[in-house]
Amino acid sequence: MPLPWLEGLYQQLAQSFTQQRFHHAQLFNGDKGVGKQCLVDSLADGLLCASPVNLRACGNCKSCQLNQAGTHPDKRVVKVEGQTIGVDEIREISDFINHSAAQNGNKVVVLEQCHKMTTAAANALLKTLEEPSLRRYLLLTCEQTALLPATILSRCAVHEIKVNSEYTKKWLASLNIANYSWLELFARQPLLVQQWQNDNQLEAVDSLYKFATEI
């Protein structure tokens, strides 16, 4: 589902891609629940699709089918399982990038929560960033750019994900979430609220909030 508060940024990125100005390393910074993952997933699909329109995946080609099945050989997603992202995970990314592509030519790496890289991992990533390869794209997400070395930041196109609370309020309303008094507090993290809804935790959050405010 497209997230309305991300549309403007997506259009800018699509335009830069059409004009062949799309940076090989795109870093998206923003709060947990703002939609970074949705954004990089859509971008990755668009970059891998054989016939994208405005960097949106067509949904029908071989690449799109592989993405839908989660088995695209030219896409690699690195998610944090422990507290940190280590140097081995980054070296694996470099290897992946250096091998030739299996499908239409582009290869995409998604590196989530890259602020959790160790110093050694960040140094290894720096080497990859310094030697960009044609048709290789790195999509990074981060919750706090202050935790990343300036050398990394200077080699990425950094985007602050901004939320328009008018859009997020409408979007939350479309999910049929009751008008809890605390919803306003999470206007910048709408997907966090959606996650609570999916996990049936909204009532629990509401009780906690009432309990906390009574104190």
Residues that bind Zn ion (CB under 5 A): 49, 57-58, 61, 64
Is the CB of 40 or the CB of 158 nearer to Zn ion? Answer: 40
CB of 40 to Zn ion, least distance (A): 17
> Which candidate, 112, 90, 109, 89, places its Cα nearest to that of 36?
112
Nearest distance in Å: CB 213, Zn ion = 49
Considering all CA atoms of the chain, what is the largest pairwise distance in Å, rounded to the nearest integer?
60
Task: State the minimum distance, in angstroms, from the CB of residue 51 to Zn ion.
Answer: 6
Specify the residue, 49 or 142, whose C-beta has the smaller distance to Zn ion: 49
Residues 6+ apart with CB under 8 A from 50: 58, 61, 62, 63, 64, 103, 104
* Cα 212 versus chain centre, distance: 32
Q: Which is nearer to Zn ion, 51 or 207 (CB)?
A: 51
Angle (nearest 5°) at CA 168 between 162 and 169: 140
Q: How far is the CB of 90 from Zn ion (least distance, A)?
A: 29
Closer CB to Zn ion, residue 71 or residue 179?
71
Decide if 85 contacts 113 (C-beta within 8 A).
yes
The residue among 46 and 190 lying less far from Zn ion, judged by its C-beta, is: 46
Nearest distance in Å: CB 159, Zn ion: 24
| Residues contacting 1, CB < 8 A, separation 6+ | none
Shortest CB 99 distance to Zn ion, Å: 22
Whichever of 135 and 188 has its CB closer to Zn ion, that residue is: 135
Left if phi > 0, otherwise alpha if psi is -120 to 50, otherwise beta: which for 88? alpha
| Strands laid side by side in the 107-111 sheet | 75-78, 107-111, 136-142, 25-29, 157-160
